[in-house]
Amino acid sequence: MAKAVGSSHPCRNCGAVVVKAVSNAGKTYTASVVMVSSRFADHYDPKKAIYPAHSCDPLEAERYQKKIAQKIENGEIIKGQRIEVIKGRKVPKGVSGVVFWVSYQTFNGSEILDRVGFKSDDGTTYFISAKNVQAITNQ
């Protein structure tokens, strides 16, 4: 038996939905969100759930990495993308850095990029509205 720690998120390598889990022995590992049923586990009781360890499928990882590279090339703002501040008053214009956090707002059933967290080249961390930045496509 294991306990999930935190919320689910996509795997950085293959994009599959994973969660951090802690085993009864106290070891932390990356687990697949799919819960496995057994005679000791119950789907409706998360305290009795079994979370299998996650291992990335090489083909799926390759597809996911190509998809991420395509999004960066198209100028979409995602984690790992280089951006530059183009307007605003709290963060100086022209500051550039790498995105490490994105926040979406749901509007009429679709997600719209709302805020971006990035680390500038000098190491300063900024959180700024997504309207005030643009992606740098030529890295």
63, containing H or E segment = helix 58-74
Domain segments of the chain as ranges: 2-59, 75-135
What confidence tens digit (pLDDT) does each residue in 61-113 have?
A: 899 889 888 887 887 888 888 999 999 888 999 999 999 998 888 888 778 88
- Residue 131: per-residue pLDDT: 92
Instruction: 112-120: list long-range contacts, CB under 8 Å, 24+ apart.
Output: 113/77, 116/77, 116/83, 118/83, 120/95, 120/96
What is the sign, positive or negative, of the torsion defined by CA atoms of 81, 59, 10, 4?
negative
- Residue 123: per-residue pLDDT: 93
Answering whether pTM is above 0.85, one says: no
Structure tokens at 78: 């995602």
- Residue 30: per-residue pLDDT: 85
Class of domain 75-135: mainly beta
pLDDT average, residue stretch 1-21: 80
Structure tokens at 48: 């009795």
What distance in Å separates the CA atoms of residue 5 and residue 92, rounded to the nearest whole number? Answer: 37
- Residue 77: per-residue pLDDT: 87
- Residue 124: per-residue pLDDT: 94
What confidence tens digit (pLDDT) does each residue in 101-112 have?
A: 988 888 887 788
138 band by pLDDT with thresholds 50, 70 and 90: low
What distance in Å separates the CA atoms of residue 98 and residue 79, rounded to the nearest whole number? Answer: 8
What confidence tens digit (pLDDT) does each residue in 19-65 have?
A: 888 888 888 888 887 655 555 555 555 555 567 888 888 899 899 88
* Torsion (CA) 74, 80, 81, 83 in degrees, nearest 10: 170
